[in-house]
Amino acid sequence: MATTLLSSSGFAEAGTKPESSRVAEIAARPSKPGTTTVAEIRSRPNTIHSALVGRDRRNRRTCRSTAYHFQSVVWHLGKVKKRSIQIKSVDLWKQGGREVFFGSLKMLRGTDGKQIWLKQHWEIPRYRPSRLKITKFKVNKTVPVRPNKAIQLHVNWLDGGKPRERGDCYGDQLFIFQLKPGRHTHEEG
């Protein structure tokens, strides 16, 4: 299934590779929709917005105009150290053209990938098409990290198809939002 990653990391910047080779490089990557956010190392509380991640099938002739879904995460952080991040809560921002059911939200440690936090499908309200919806989840965990290993938030979701719509217009999806400490707050490409 092809996905669309909407973030500034997909565009060529001054002094980088030419646009055509950069686009080819991004297209050749495995299709794991998600984004990595770097949080500034600091002792004060911080709120960080991830890039927008989504699946957009509206441009296909066989799919309806409702065949899209976008998500973003807002991380509410406490103290960010080189080896750990205190996560107070996360907000899941979602917007789309059809009803979406969530399978689970789970957070994996940035050292060994062990699951440290989980919300099951009955704890997550389904998304009904409308404007932007924000769902807040308390975490209250200090999560260890290693250099080049990010904390991961996995968002599993499923949207149902419409009558006479091909199977590639809908289905289940996993979005991965990553968080790691760094010198300043930014999105990684």
pTM: 0.79
- Average the pLDDT over 132-153 and give the result: 92
pLDDT by residue (tens digit) across 15-46? 334 444 544 444 444 456 889 999 999 999 99
Please, what is the average pLDDT of the chain?
A: 80
pLDDT by residue (tens digit) across 89-123? 999 999 988 888 888 999 999 889 899 999 998 88
How far is C-alpha 104 from the geometric centre of its chain's CA atoms? 13
Query: Following DSSP, what letter does each residue of the chain receive, concatenated?
Result: ---EEESGGGS--TTSS-HHHHHHHHHHS----EEEEEEEPBSS-EEEEPPEEEEE-TTSTTS-TT-EEEEEEEEEEEEE-SSEEEEEEEEEEEEESS-EEEEEEEEE-BTT--EEEEEEGGGSPPB-SSS-EEEEEEEEEEEEBBTTB-EEEEEEEEE---TT--GGGSEEEEEEEEEEEESS-EEE-
Lowest mean pLDDT among 53-62, 72-81, 147-156: 53-62
